[in-house]
């Protein structure tokens, strides 16, 4: 039973990763990202998810410094972008991200998308960064089962995390099962389906039962499903609201009802057909 915002899952290498964090995709570099990360940390968040692609690593780093929270209590994720994939270019991209973030070490480094013909070399570079102690955990994002199988054919290290689009309209059950079997922690991006589920009657009904909001019900469902979740908001009231999910528990029937909303429907790109 996950009881607080600081509770964590233990990755297969023993590293503790918070179940809950803040996403900062489409949050503007500068004051906007600084304010949202600072507000999140002030309100108990310990995990921040950025990417070089988001172009806001500088502001994330500034907010971390200004937070006053010891580095070792925070869990910072960033990702290598598609254009930087390949062995040497991944090593260089990592250094550039670290410089922007102003960090000595990273908590989680992810391959952002499975770029065909490149992700294995990228993974080899990420494994090196891990073996060199630059990053505490390594993983992938947007990997389908076939991508993972292909990666595992040659990998030294099994990814600790797979971050994918995941919400009640896209429950990814087969992938989740595969990840469980291989001790890969599933992490949800766009957990709120970027706002598209706010008026769903099933979710509204359940929310009413607990005097909670639809986002809170969805995020609680993530965590009870043992999926790490990183909703994004730039508004402090929502940052607080989203994390206020540790004082109620959905029943199995409610969990099943939410999962049955699945339509295999995405708000983002399908990893089999991306052109990013």
Ligand X SMILES: NC(=O)c1ccc[n+]([C@@H]2O[C@H](COP(=O)([O-])OP(=O)(O)OC[C@H]3O[C@@H](n4cnc5c(N)ncnc54)[C@H](OP(=O)(O)O)[C@@H]3O)[C@@H](O)[C@H]2O)c1
Only segment of 131-139, 154-162, 173-181, 230-238 that touches ligand X (CB under 6 A): 230-238
The torsion angle over the Cα atoms of residues 22, 23, 27 and 33, rounded to 10 degrees, is: 30
Q: Which is nearer to ligand X, 113 or 253 (CB)?
A: 113
Residues 59-88, one symbol each (x = binds ligand X by CB under 6 A, - = not), give: ------------------------------
Least Cβ distance, residue 202 to ligand X (angstroms): 17
Least Cβ distance, residue 73 to ligand X (angstroms): 20
Least Cβ distance, residue 158 to ligand X (angstroms): 19
Enumerate residues 103-162 that contact ligand X by CB under 6 A: 112, 141-142
List the one residue from 31, 66, 71, 195 that touches ligand X (CB under 6 A).
Answer: 195
Give the Cα separation of 109 and 106 in Å (integer): 7
Only segment of 56-64, 85-93, 131-139, 183-191 that touches ligand X (CB under 6 A): 183-191
* Alpha-carbon distances of 151 from 23, 24, 122, 155, 225, rounded to whole Å: 26, 28, 10, 6, 25
Q: Which is nearer to ligand X, 103 or 219 (CB)?
A: 219
* Alpha-carbon distances of 81 from 53, 152, 251, rounded to whole Å: 6, 21, 39
Q: Which of 8, 25, 54, 105 is catalytic?
A: 54
Helix (H) or strand (E) holding 251: none
Give the Cα separation of 20 and 40 in Å (integer): 11
List the one residue from 28, 29, 236, 241 that touches ligand X (CB under 6 A).
Answer: 241
**N- to C-terminal Cα separation, the chain:** 38
Give the Cα separation of 143 and 172 in Å (integer): 11
CB atoms within 10 A of CB 169: 18
Q: Does 168 bind ligand X (CB under 6 A)?
A: no
Q: Does 189 bind ligand X (CB under 6 A)?
A: yes
Binding residue count for ligand X, defined by CB under 6 A: 26
Known catalytic residue: 54? yes
Which spans in the chain are helix H? Answer: 31-42, 57-67, 87-101, 119-131, 145-154, 173-181, 201-210, 214-224, 236-243, 252-259
Catalytic residues: 54
Q: Which residues bind ligand X (CB under 6 A)?
A: 23-25, 49, 112, 141-142, 163, 189-195, 215, 230-235, 238, 241-242, 268
């Amino acid at each position: 039973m996950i009881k607080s915002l600081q509770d964590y899952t233990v990755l297969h290498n023993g590293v503790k990763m918070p179940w809950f964090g803040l996403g900062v995709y489409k949050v503007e570099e500068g004051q906007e990202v600084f304010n949202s990360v600072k507000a999140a940390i002030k309100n108990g968040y310990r995990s921040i998810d950025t990417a070089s692609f988001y172009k806001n690593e500088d502001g994330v780093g500034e907010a971390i410094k200004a937070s006053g929270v010891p580095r070792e209590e925070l869990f910072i994720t960033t990702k290598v972008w598609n254009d930087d994939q390949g062995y040497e270019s991944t090593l260089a991209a990592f250094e550039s991200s670290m410089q922007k973030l102003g960090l000595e070490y990273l908590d989680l480094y992810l391959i952002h998308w499975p770029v065909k013909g490149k992700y294995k070399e990228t993974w080899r570079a990420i494994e090196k960064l891990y073996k060199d102690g630059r990053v505490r955990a390594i993983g992938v994002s947007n990997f389908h089962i076939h991508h993972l199988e292909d990666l595992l054919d040659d990998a030294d290290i099994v990814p600790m995390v797979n971050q994918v689009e995941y919400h009640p309209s896209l429950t990814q059950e087969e992938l989740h099962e595969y990840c469980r079997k291989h001790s890969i922690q599933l992490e949800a991006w766009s957990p709120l389906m970027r706002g598209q589920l706010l008026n769903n009657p099933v979710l509204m009904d359940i929310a009413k039962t607990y005097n909670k909001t639809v986002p809170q019900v969805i995020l609680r469902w993530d965590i009870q499903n043992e999926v790490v979740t990183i909703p994004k908001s730039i508004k402090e009231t929502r940052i607080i609201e989203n994390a206020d999910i540790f004082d109620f528990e959905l029943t199995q029937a409610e969990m099943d009802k939410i999962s049955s909303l699945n339509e295999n429907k995405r708000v983002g790109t399908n990893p089999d057909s991306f052109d990013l």
